Chain A
Amino acid sequence: MSVETPLNRAPIMERFGEAIDDLGFAHGVHAFAAPPEMIVELCRFLKEHPALRFNFLSDICGVDHYPDVPRFEAVYHLYSLPNKWRVRIKCRLGDPPRIPSVVGVWRTANWHEREAWDMYGIRFEGHPDLRRIYMWEGFEGFPQRKDFPLRGYKDKLNPLGVEGPPPTQPDLATKNIP
């Protein structure tokens, strides 16, 4: 199925053609794969370029591809209010996952990034306030990772949980965020 993309790709490919992969257009969204270290530059470019103006950040989503390597992924969905275009940016991340924060580009990224940190342990470097958002302070582990059991680990509050020690990930402890 080859659908003509409505998106004006020329300025993006001209500037980032070497670094990013064009994953094509499907179901109304044009997707790109980008290296994580470029995410801020790319987002700022997409937001501020006069022909693109992706001024609305719809969503940031963490994905765990366990046991594939690289294991994690951060997916950004951008929307251009003036042009009515949608773009998806996918960044594969290693373990432990790190990616620069885009809070400086859109303030709405704040809670999206906190959610991805809470659920997947993706560390958004430069985030002003990277705390857990859904789980409580002191919760151990990242519940939406594929290796975290659906019912959680057994303890006195969770008698139906899975036997076994909770995942201790000293390098990813909730405190000591860079």
Chain B
Amino acid sequence: MTEVTELSRPEGEAPDTREVLLNLGPQHPSTHGVLRLVLELEGEYVARVDPHIGYLHRGTEKLAESFTYTQIFPLTDRLDYLCPPSNNLAFALAVEKLLGIKAPIRAQYIRVLMAELARISGHLLITGALPLDLGAMTALLYAMREREMIMDLFEMISGARMHTSFCRVGGVREDLPDGFFPKIREFCDIFPNRIRDYERLVENNRVFLKRTQGIGVISAEDGIDLGLSGPNLRASGVDWDLRRDEPYEIYDRLDFSVITRDEGDCYARWRCRVEEMRESVRIIEQCLDQMPEGPFQIDMPTIAFPVDKDKVHCSMEALIQHFDLSAYGFKVPKGEVYSAIEAPKGELGFYIISDGSEKPFRMKVRAPSFVNLQGLFGTSNAHFLADMIAVLGSLDPVMAEVDK
């Protein structure tokens, strides 16, 4: 090989050091969806990266302007499709703030419980997918086994495995089903041991460690400057979690710790997520212990359907309100709100401007993956093309959320 290049080079000219432009994606298994990276390579090193996004752009924000507030819930499901309950919750909270209402306590517990299940489900995927990207296939298969348990729980609660759309403004759609508690207790008993299994699978894998430790280091300053949030920022040593710092729902009643790490490399980001799953299990157990009896939906016939369906058949007013609510939706007072929650990927914010009608005038989604993907520009050390895959995987972008 060397000889050939030597022979083909004209006399007296310097070795050929042209930059190579490489197109990675949009259809590539390690881009976690339809992401296209245009990479400028200097030999094996990545000199510049230019992500091209938008292949999955569905115009969620534009669509939302022509949907009623209840109709938007299924749209939010499809943002971060690994954890729809978190997205539902973020949107519901924003609308509830505008309406000046709060869901009943039991509904808040159910929402938090589902959001934490979703967090586990989202983190499980990346726990397995990052090693998979780097050639260790086994972890993903085990992670999927436990994710299946969560999908089953979702199915039990809402009837849907992925796009649950379970939240409603002012509560949740239904109460928890019979037989749910033993099932989720079983999950909580099994799962912590399974986390230990994943760690054992990967912790001693020298290839995995070599390819993640010290790779793609993002400093705390760079992380904040680039707007990273969630586990990506906490892995750089910034102790910030909206669940604790701006408690919403019933998080202020729960005892959990915020996981941070100082290294800021790919391994730290992976590690942060694994440990966050343990905390999520703790939160779920507390939710189960503390969950009170009571209504699961606010008692406001203009906003939520009556729990007692018989009312609709007997009372004229209830029938009219029921019809009005299904046909036209409910009006939200004029105003604007920015409401953010700690979604599995980071700060998920909904900025809603209401003009007093049944549909939002403007809905902006502050999608954490969209911002986190800019972390690709924040890594301080030059790295190989192969490391790019590790950095990308560890930032854990979900393309549906990036493209909105």
Contacts and interface: CB of A to CB of B under 8 A. Distances in A.
Interface in A36-51: none
Contacts of A136: 54
A119 B347 CA distance: 22
B224 A143 contact: no
Contacts of A64: 362
Interface in B319-362: 335-340, 347, 349, 351, 353, 362
B62 A59 contact: no
A162 interface: no
A29 B62 CA distance: 24
Contact of A133 (B53, B337, B340): B53
B79 to A, nearest CB: 14
A84 to B, nearest CB: 5
A106 B225 contact: yes
Given A133-B54, A150-B66, A27 B337 contact: yes
B403 interface: yes
Contacts of B63: 150
B351 A77 contact: yes
A133 to B, nearest CB: 6
A105 to B, nearest CB: 9
B78 to A, nearest CB: 15
Contacts of B225: 106-108
Contact of B62 (A55, A56, A108, A150): A150
Interface string B17-49: 000000000000000000000000000000000
Nearest to B404: A134
Contacts of A133: 53-54
Contacts of B61: 119, 144
B246 interface: yes
Contacts of B364: 59, 61, 75
A98 interface: no
Interface string A123-158: 000000000111110000001100000100000000
B209 interface: no
B392 interface: no
Contacts of A81: 224, 238, 240
A132 B53 CA distance: 10
A111 B66 contact: no
A84 B242 CA distance: 10
B366 interface: yes
A150 B53 CA distance: 21
B338 A56 contact: no
Contacts of B404: 134
Given A27-B338, A28-B246, A134 B366 contact: no
B56 to A, nearest CB: 9
Interface in B363-404: 364, 366, 370-371, 373-374, 377-378, 403-404
Contacts of A150: 62-63, 66
B194 interface: no
Interface residues of A, number: 35
Nearest to B337: A27
A55 B53 CA distance: 27
Contacts of A106: 225, 227
A158 to B, nearest CB: 13
Given A56-B224, A81-B240, A107-B226, A88 B62 contact: no
A168 B349 CA distance: 34
Given A77-B351, A144-B62, A26 B335 contact: yes
Nearest to B245: A84
A133 B51 CA distance: 9
B283 to A, nearest CB: 21
B57 interface: yes
B35 to A, nearest CB: 13
A57 interface: yes
Interface in A66-111: 75, 77, 81, 84, 86, 88, 106-108, 110-111
Contacts of B98: 27
Nearest to A59: B366
A83 B100 CA distance: 25
B338 A134 contact: no
A61 to B, nearest CB: 4
A112 B61 CA distance: 14
Given A75-B351, A110-B374, A133-B54, 8 more contacts: A1-B100, A26-B335, A63-B362, A84-B246, A107-B377, A112-B371, A119-B61, A150-B62
Closest 8 CB pairs of A and B: A108-B227, A134-B54, A61-B364, A59-B366, A134-B57, A27-B337, A27-B97, A107-B225
17 contacts: A26-B335, A26-B337, A27-B98, A27-B339, A29-B337, A58-B349, A58-B366, A61-B351, A84-B245, A107-B227, A107-B374, A108-B371, A108-B374, A111-B373, A144-B61, A144-B62, A150-B66
